[in-house]
Amino acid sequence: MFEYRLIAVDPETGARAGEFVTPHGVIPTPVFMPVGTQASVKSMSPDELRAIDAKIILSNTYHLFLRPGPDLIAKAGGLHGFMNWDRPVLTDSGGFQVFSLAKINKIMDDGVEFRSHLDGTKYMMTPELAVQVQEKLGADIAMCFDQCVELPCTRSSAEDGVARTLAWAARCKAAHTRADQALFGIVQGGLFDDLRARCADELAAMDFPGYAIGGLSVGESHAEMYRCLENLMPHMPAHKPRYLMGVGHPANLIEGIARGVDMFDCVLPTRNGRTGTVFTHDGRMNIKNAQYTEDFSPIDAECDCYACRNFTRAYVRHLYRAGEILAVRLLSWHNIHFLVKLVAGARQAIIEGRFGDYRRDFMSRYEGGAYRV
Protein backbone atom coordinates (compact mmCIF):
# COMPACT_ATOMS: atom_id res chain seq x y z
CA MET A 1 0.00 0.00 0.00
CA PHE A 2 2.99 2.31 0.61
CA GLU A 3 5.91 2.44 -1.78
CA TYR A 4 8.69 4.94 -2.45
CA ARG A 5 9.88 5.03 -6.06
CA LEU A 6 13.15 6.79 -6.81
CA ILE A 7 12.93 8.36 -10.27
CA ALA A 8 16.07 10.49 -10.63
CA VAL A 9 19.10 11.64 -8.63
CA ASP A 10 21.11 14.78 -9.35
CA PRO A 11 24.76 13.63 -9.74
CA GLU A 12 26.13 16.96 -8.55
CA THR A 13 24.29 17.16 -5.23
CA GLY A 14 22.33 13.97 -4.56
CA ALA A 15 18.98 15.77 -4.84
CA ARG A 16 16.23 13.20 -5.44
CA ALA A 17 13.00 13.06 -7.42
CA GLY A 18 10.60 10.30 -6.51
CA GLU A 19 7.06 9.23 -5.72
CA PHE A 20 5.50 8.03 -2.49
CA VAL A 21 2.39 5.92 -3.01
CA THR A 22 -0.40 6.32 -0.41
CA PRO A 23 -4.07 5.24 -0.23
CA HIS A 24 -5.19 8.76 -1.20
CA GLY A 25 -2.83 9.26 -4.10
CA VAL A 26 0.77 9.40 -5.22
CA ILE A 27 2.88 12.16 -3.66
CA PRO A 28 5.55 13.43 -6.08
CA THR A 29 8.73 14.29 -4.22
CA PRO A 30 10.31 16.61 -3.34
CA VAL A 31 7.12 18.19 -2.06
CA PHE A 32 6.09 21.11 0.15
CA MET A 33 3.14 20.39 2.45
CA PRO A 34 0.95 23.31 3.59
CA VAL A 35 0.04 23.09 7.28
CA GLY A 36 -3.59 22.83 8.36
CA THR A 37 -3.05 22.82 12.11
CA GLN A 38 -6.73 22.69 13.10
CA ALA A 39 -7.79 20.58 10.08
CA SER A 40 -7.76 23.76 8.00
CA VAL A 41 -4.99 25.63 6.20
CA LYS A 42 -5.55 29.14 7.54
CA SER A 43 -7.65 31.31 5.17
CA MET A 44 -7.64 28.66 2.40
CA SER A 45 -10.41 26.32 1.25
CA PRO A 46 -9.74 22.76 0.05
CA ASP A 47 -10.76 23.76 -3.49
CA GLU A 48 -8.23 26.60 -3.45
CA LEU A 49 -5.49 24.25 -2.25
CA ARG A 50 -6.36 21.84 -5.03
CA ALA A 51 -6.16 24.75 -7.52
CA ILE A 52 -2.66 25.48 -6.24
CA ASP A 53 -2.01 21.74 -6.70
CA ALA A 54 -1.00 21.07 -3.12
CA LYS A 55 -0.40 17.31 -3.13
CA ILE A 56 -0.65 16.73 0.63
CA ILE A 57 -1.44 18.78 3.73
CA LEU A 58 -0.44 18.38 7.36
CA SER A 59 -2.60 18.54 10.48
CA ASN A 60 -1.63 18.70 14.13
CA THR A 61 -2.30 15.83 16.52
CA TYR A 62 -1.88 17.89 19.71
CA HIS A 63 -4.40 20.55 18.71
CA LEU A 64 -6.96 18.10 17.32
CA PHE A 65 -6.59 15.88 20.39
CA LEU A 66 -7.59 18.83 22.57
CA ARG A 67 -10.26 20.18 20.21
CA PRO A 68 -12.57 18.78 18.80
CA GLY A 69 -11.17 15.39 19.84
CA PRO A 70 -10.20 12.33 17.78
CA ASP A 71 -13.45 10.45 18.42
CA LEU A 72 -15.55 13.16 16.77
CA ILE A 73 -13.20 13.27 13.76
CA ALA A 74 -13.33 9.49 13.48
CA LYS A 75 -17.13 9.64 13.38
CA ALA A 76 -16.87 12.12 10.48
CA GLY A 77 -14.82 9.65 8.46
CA GLY A 78 -11.40 10.78 9.65
CA LEU A 79 -9.67 13.95 8.58
CA HIS A 80 -10.39 13.36 4.90
CA GLY A 81 -14.14 13.32 5.48
CA PHE A 82 -14.09 15.93 8.24
CA MET A 83 -12.39 18.61 6.13
CA ASN A 84 -13.40 17.39 2.66
CA TRP A 85 -9.87 16.70 1.46
CA ASP A 86 -9.43 13.78 -0.93
CA ARG A 87 -5.63 13.90 -1.21
CA PRO A 88 -3.05 12.59 1.27
CA VAL A 89 -2.84 13.91 4.83
CA LEU A 90 0.06 13.76 7.29
CA THR A 91 -0.35 14.20 11.04
CA ASP A 92 2.54 14.98 13.34
CA SER A 93 2.62 13.23 16.71
CA GLY A 94 2.05 16.33 18.82
CA GLY A 95 5.41 15.91 20.51
CA PHE A 96 6.76 19.32 19.56
CA GLN A 97 3.60 21.08 20.77
CA VAL A 98 3.56 19.14 24.05
CA PHE A 99 7.02 20.50 24.78
CA SER A 100 6.58 24.01 23.36
CA LEU A 101 2.93 24.99 23.96
CA ALA A 102 1.82 23.16 27.09
CA LYS A 103 1.73 25.50 30.08
CA ILE A 104 3.33 22.91 32.33
CA ASN A 105 4.87 19.62 31.25
CA LYS A 106 6.76 16.84 32.95
CA ILE A 107 8.83 14.53 30.76
CA MET A 108 9.07 10.94 31.95
CA ASP A 109 10.21 7.72 30.34
CA ASP A 110 6.57 6.63 30.06
CA GLY A 111 5.50 9.83 28.27
CA VAL A 112 4.76 13.49 28.95
CA GLU A 113 2.36 14.86 31.52
CA PHE A 114 1.14 18.27 30.42
CA ARG A 115 -1.53 20.89 30.93
CA SER A 116 -3.54 22.12 27.96
CA HIS A 117 -2.66 25.58 26.72
CA LEU A 118 -6.42 26.10 26.23
CA ASP A 119 -7.83 25.51 29.72
CA GLY A 120 -5.12 23.99 31.90
CA THR A 121 -6.60 20.47 31.90
CA LYS A 122 -3.99 17.84 32.76
CA TYR A 123 -3.26 15.05 30.28
CA MET A 124 -0.71 12.28 29.90
CA MET A 125 0.55 11.78 26.34
CA THR A 126 2.26 8.44 25.79
CA PRO A 127 3.61 6.94 22.56
CA GLU A 128 0.67 4.55 22.54
CA LEU A 129 -1.88 7.35 22.92
CA ALA A 130 -0.19 9.43 20.20
CA VAL A 131 -0.56 6.48 17.82
CA GLN A 132 -4.14 5.79 18.90
CA VAL A 133 -5.13 9.41 18.27
CA GLN A 134 -3.50 9.46 14.82
CA GLU A 135 -5.20 6.20 13.87
CA LYS A 136 -8.55 7.78 14.72
CA LEU A 137 -7.62 10.89 12.72
CA GLY A 138 -7.04 8.55 9.76
CA ALA A 139 -4.04 10.30 8.19
CA ASP A 140 -2.14 8.55 5.41
CA ILE A 141 1.13 9.30 7.19
CA ALA A 142 1.48 9.38 10.99
CA MET A 143 4.52 10.27 13.07
CA CYS A 144 6.12 8.54 16.03
CA PHE A 145 5.99 10.36 19.36
CA ASP A 146 9.44 11.82 19.96
CA GLN A 147 11.30 14.17 22.29
CA CYS A 148 12.41 17.41 20.65
CA VAL A 149 15.08 19.17 22.71
CA GLU A 150 15.52 22.93 22.71
CA LEU A 151 18.54 24.53 21.08
CA PRO A 152 21.10 25.23 22.28
CA CYS A 153 21.21 22.10 24.41
CA THR A 154 23.83 20.15 26.30
CA ARG A 155 25.09 16.83 25.01
CA SER A 156 23.54 15.16 28.04
CA SER A 157 20.05 16.50 27.27
CA ALA A 158 20.44 15.54 23.58
CA GLU A 159 21.45 12.01 24.61
CA ASP A 160 18.40 11.74 26.85
CA GLY A 161 16.20 12.96 24.00
CA VAL A 162 17.62 10.38 21.60
CA ALA A 163 17.19 7.57 24.14
CA ARG A 164 13.54 8.45 24.72
CA THR A 165 12.90 9.01 21.01
CA LEU A 166 14.22 5.54 20.18
CA ALA A 167 12.36 3.85 23.02
CA TRP A 168 9.14 5.66 22.12
CA ALA A 169 9.58 4.80 18.43
CA ALA A 170 9.67 1.10 19.28
CA ARG A 171 6.55 1.49 21.41
CA CYS A 172 4.79 3.45 18.66
CA LYS A 173 5.54 0.74 16.13
CA ALA A 174 4.27 -1.97 18.48
CA ALA A 175 1.05 -0.01 19.08
CA HIS A 176 0.39 0.85 15.44
CA THR A 177 -2.31 -1.31 13.81
CA ARG A 178 -3.59 0.47 10.67
CA ALA A 179 -2.22 -1.08 7.49
CA ASP A 180 -3.57 1.89 5.51
CA GLN A 181 -1.41 4.35 7.48
CA ALA A 182 2.37 4.75 7.20
CA LEU A 183 4.15 5.42 10.50
CA PHE A 184 7.38 7.43 10.16
CA GLY A 185 10.23 7.44 12.65
CA ILE A 186 11.79 10.77 13.68
CA VAL A 187 15.54 11.40 13.99
CA GLN A 188 16.60 13.58 16.92
CA GLY A 189 19.98 14.46 18.40
CA GLY A 190 20.25 18.23 18.50
CA LEU A 191 23.32 19.49 16.63
CA PHE A 192 25.46 16.51 17.64
CA ASP A 193 26.23 14.65 14.42
CA ASP A 194 27.16 11.36 16.10
CA LEU A 195 23.91 11.30 18.07
CA ARG A 196 21.92 12.04 14.92
CA ALA A 197 23.73 9.23 13.10
CA ARG A 198 23.09 6.74 15.90
CA CYS A 199 19.43 7.70 16.11
CA ALA A 200 19.00 7.32 12.33
CA ASP A 201 20.81 3.97 12.27
CA GLU A 202 18.68 2.51 15.06
CA LEU A 203 15.46 3.82 13.53
CA ALA A 204 16.46 2.34 10.16
CA ALA A 205 16.87 -1.04 11.86
CA MET A 206 13.22 -0.78 13.00
CA ASP A 207 12.24 -0.54 9.30
CA PHE A 208 9.73 2.29 9.19
CA PRO A 209 8.20 3.19 5.79
CA GLY A 210 9.68 6.70 6.05
CA TYR A 211 11.89 8.85 8.25
CA ALA A 212 11.61 12.42 9.47
CA ILE A 213 14.29 14.78 10.73
CA GLY A 214 13.07 16.68 13.76
CA GLY A 215 14.60 19.29 16.03
CA LEU A 216 15.90 21.61 13.29
CA SER A 217 14.69 25.07 12.29
CA VAL A 218 14.34 25.79 16.01
CA GLY A 219 16.95 28.51 16.34
CA GLU A 220 20.11 27.15 14.79
CA SER A 221 21.83 28.94 11.90
CA HIS A 222 21.26 27.92 8.31
CA ALA A 223 24.87 26.75 8.14
CA GLU A 224 24.34 24.49 11.17
CA MET A 225 21.19 23.04 9.62
CA TYR A 226 22.95 22.32 6.33
CA ARG A 227 25.94 20.73 8.05
CA CYS A 228 23.65 18.53 10.12
CA LEU A 229 21.78 17.38 7.00
CA GLU A 230 24.97 16.66 5.09
CA ASN A 231 26.38 14.50 7.87
CA LEU A 232 23.06 12.76 8.52
CA MET A 233 22.06 11.79 4.98
CA PRO A 234 24.43 8.80 4.64
CA HIS A 235 22.52 7.26 7.57
CA MET A 236 19.05 7.87 6.09
CA PRO A 237 17.74 4.88 4.06
CA ALA A 238 17.89 5.73 0.35
CA HIS A 239 14.81 3.63 -0.46
CA LYS A 240 12.51 5.50 1.94
CA PRO A 241 11.18 9.10 1.92
CA ARG A 242 13.05 11.69 4.02
CA TYR A 243 11.03 14.44 5.69
CA LEU A 244 12.54 17.63 7.17
CA MET A 245 10.00 18.88 9.70
CA GLY A 246 9.00 22.52 10.14
CA VAL A 247 11.14 24.04 7.38
CA GLY A 248 9.65 26.54 4.92
CA HIS A 249 12.09 29.36 4.10
CA PRO A 250 12.56 29.22 0.30
CA ALA A 251 16.35 29.05 0.56
CA ASN A 252 16.11 26.24 3.14
CA LEU A 253 13.83 24.26 0.81
CA ILE A 254 16.25 24.46 -2.11
CA GLU A 255 19.29 23.69 0.06
CA GLY A 256 17.44 20.87 1.80
CA ILE A 257 16.54 19.34 -1.56
CA ALA A 258 20.19 19.67 -2.59
CA ARG A 259 21.06 17.53 0.44
CA GLY A 260 18.59 14.76 -0.33
CA VAL A 261 15.41 15.79 1.52
CA ASP A 262 12.09 14.73 -0.03
CA MET A 263 9.35 16.33 2.10
CA PHE A 264 8.91 19.67 3.89
CA ASP A 265 6.19 21.43 5.89
CA CYS A 266 5.88 24.80 7.57
CA VAL A 267 3.32 27.32 8.84
CA LEU A 268 5.48 30.13 7.43
CA PRO A 269 3.54 30.91 4.21
CA THR A 270 0.26 31.59 6.02
CA ARG A 271 1.93 33.16 9.07
CA ASN A 272 3.83 35.54 6.82
CA GLY A 273 0.64 36.25 4.90
CA ARG A 274 -1.00 37.39 8.12
CA THR A 275 1.87 39.81 8.78
CA GLY A 276 2.05 41.25 5.24
CA THR A 277 5.22 39.45 4.15
CA VAL A 278 5.39 37.66 0.80
CA PHE A 279 7.96 35.56 -1.01
CA THR A 280 9.13 36.63 -4.46
CA HIS A 281 11.89 35.43 -6.77
CA ASP A 282 13.83 38.54 -5.74
CA GLY A 283 13.53 38.08 -2.00
CA ARG A 284 10.92 38.74 0.67
CA MET A 285 8.64 41.74 0.28
CA ASN A 286 6.74 43.62 2.98
CA ILE A 287 3.53 44.71 1.28
CA LYS A 288 2.93 47.27 4.05
CA ASN A 289 5.80 49.47 2.86
CA ALA A 290 4.79 52.86 1.51
CA GLN A 291 6.74 52.33 -1.72
CA TYR A 292 3.91 50.06 -2.93
CA THR A 293 1.15 52.65 -2.48
CA GLU A 294 1.00 53.38 -6.24
CA ASP A 295 2.67 50.20 -7.48
CA PHE A 296 0.27 48.63 -9.97
CA SER A 297 2.44 45.62 -10.78
CA PRO A 298 1.68 42.12 -9.43
CA ILE A 299 3.28 40.86 -6.24
CA ASP A 300 5.67 38.78 -8.38
CA ALA A 301 5.64 39.22 -12.16
CA GLU A 302 6.85 35.62 -12.63
CA CYS A 303 4.10 34.09 -10.49
CA ASP A 304 0.86 32.78 -11.96
CA CYS A 305 -1.11 32.43 -8.72
CA TYR A 306 -4.61 33.87 -8.41
CA ALA A 307 -3.38 36.93 -6.51
CA CYS A 308 -0.65 37.79 -9.01
CA ARG A 309 -2.88 37.22 -12.03
CA ASN A 310 -5.66 39.46 -10.80
CA PHE A 311 -4.45 42.10 -8.36
CA THR A 312 -1.72 44.69 -7.84
CA ARG A 313 0.64 45.46 -4.99
CA ALA A 314 -1.18 48.76 -4.49
CA TYR A 315 -4.54 47.03 -4.11
CA VAL A 316 -3.29 44.32 -1.74
CA ARG A 317 -1.47 46.94 0.35
CA HIS A 318 -4.69 48.94 0.58
CA LEU A 319 -6.63 45.85 1.68
CA TYR A 320 -4.04 45.02 4.32
CA ARG A 321 -3.95 48.55 5.77
CA ALA A 322 -7.77 48.63 5.77
CA GLY A 323 -7.90 45.39 7.75
CA GLU A 324 -9.74 43.49 5.01
CA ILE A 325 -9.70 39.70 5.31
CA LEU A 326 -9.10 39.39 1.56
CA ALA A 327 -5.58 40.77 2.04
CA VAL A 328 -4.56 37.88 4.29
CA ARG A 329 -6.20 35.39 1.94
CA LEU A 330 -4.40 36.74 -1.13
CA LEU A 331 -1.02 36.95 0.59
CA SER A 332 -1.35 33.44 2.03
CA TRP A 333 -2.55 32.12 -1.34
CA HIS A 334 0.51 33.60 -3.04
CA ASN A 335 2.97 32.32 -0.42
CA ILE A 336 1.66 28.75 -0.48
CA HIS A 337 1.59 28.77 -4.28
CA PHE A 338 5.15 30.13 -4.38
CA LEU A 339 6.56 27.35 -2.18
CA VAL A 340 4.56 24.54 -3.81
CA LYS A 341 5.72 25.66 -7.27
CA LEU A 342 9.30 26.29 -6.15
CA VAL A 343 9.65 22.72 -4.92
CA ALA A 344 7.77 21.28 -7.91
CA GLY A 345 10.15 23.21 -10.17
CA ALA A 346 13.12 21.72 -8.34
CA ARG A 347 11.67 18.25 -8.87
CA GLN A 348 11.30 18.82 -12.60
CA ALA A 349 14.84 20.18 -12.77
CA ILE A 350 16.17 17.04 -11.08
CA ILE A 351 14.33 14.84 -13.58
CA GLU A 352 15.67 16.89 -16.49
CA GLY A 353 19.23 16.91 -15.17
CA ARG A 354 19.48 20.67 -14.57
CA PHE A 355 18.99 20.99 -10.82
CA GLY A 356 22.42 22.58 -10.32
CA ASP A 357 21.48 25.48 -12.58
CA TYR A 358 18.01 25.74 -11.03
CA ARG A 359 19.52 25.95 -7.56
CA ARG A 360 22.18 28.49 -8.50
CA ASP A 361 19.76 30.71 -10.41
CA PHE A 362 17.18 30.76 -7.63
CA MET A 363 19.62 31.28 -4.78
CA SER A 364 21.44 34.06 -6.60
CA ARG A 365 18.23 36.01 -7.22
CA TYR A 366 16.53 35.30 -3.91
CA GLU A 367 19.51 35.96 -1.66
CA GLY A 368 20.63 39.01 -3.65
CA GLY A 369 17.16 40.30 -4.42
CA ALA A 370 15.95 43.85 -4.33
CA TYR A 371 13.26 43.38 -1.69
CA ARG A 372 13.92 43.56 2.01
CA VAL A 373 11.52 43.17 4.92
pLDDT at position 371? 62
Tell me the per-residue pLDDT of 141-182, one tens digit each, with 9 for 90 and over. 999 999 998 899 999 999 999 999 999 999 999 999 999 999
Handedness of CA 13, 19, 20, 26 (dihedral sign): positive
- Is the separation of the CB atoms in 213 and 242 below 8 Å? yes
Tell me the per-residue pLDDT of 109-132, one tens digit each, with 9 for 90 and over. 999 999 998 999 999 999 999 999
Q: Is the pLDDT of residue 369 over 80?
A: no
Q: Is the pLDDT of residue 229 over 90?
A: yes
265 is annotated as an active-site residue: yes
140 is annotated as an active-site residue: no
Which residue out of 140, 262, 265, 300 is catalytically annotated?
A: 265
Tell me the per-residue pLDDT of 241-251, one tens digit each, with 9 for 90 and over. 999 999 999 99
Which residue out of 92, 140, 146, 262 is catalytically annotated?
A: 92
Query: Mapped to the 3 state alphabet, what secondary structure does the chain carry?
Result: CCEEEEEEECCCCCCEEEEEEECCEEEEECEEEEECCCCCCCCCCHHHHHHHCCCCEEEEHHHHHHCCCHHHHHHCCHHHHHHCCCCCEEEECCHHHHHHCCCCEEECCCCEEEECCCCCCEEEECHHHHHHHHHHHCCCEEECCCCCCCCCCCHHHHHHHHHHHHHHHHHHHHHCCCCCCEEEEEECCCCCHHHHHHHHHHHHHHCCCCEEECCCCCCCCHHHHHHHHHHHHHHCCCCCCEEECCCCCHHHHHHHHHCCCCEEEECHHHHHHHCCEEEECCEEEECCCHHHCCCCCCCCCCCCCHHHHHCCHHHHHHHHHCCCHHHHHHHHHHHHHHHHHHHHHHHHHHHCCCHHHHHHHHHHHHHCCCCCC
Q: Is the pLDDT of residue 105 over 90?
A: no
Task: Pick the closest to residue 328 from 310, 305, 307 (CA basis).
Answer: 307
Least confident of 114-123, 259-268, 318-327: 114-123
In whole angstroms, what is the distance from residue 283 CA to residue 78 CA? 39
pLDDT grade, residue 370 (50/70/90)?
low
Q: Is the pLDDT of residue 22 over 90?
A: yes
Q: Is the pLDDT of residue 372 over 60?
A: no
Q: Is the pLDDT of residue 73 over 50?
A: yes
Q: Kindly compute the dihedral angle of the four CA atoms of residues 82, 86, 87, 91, in this order, to the nearest 10 degrees.
A: 10
pLDDT grade, residue 30 (50/70/90)?
very high
pLDDT at position 9? 98
Name the fold adopted by 3-266. TIM Barrel (3.20.20)
Burial class, 152, CB count within 10 angstroms (exposed 0-12 / middle 13-18 / buried 19+): exposed
Residue spans per domain, the chain: 3-266, 273-367
Going by DSSP bridges, is the β-strand pair 141-143/122-125 parallel, antiparallel, or unpaired?
unpaired
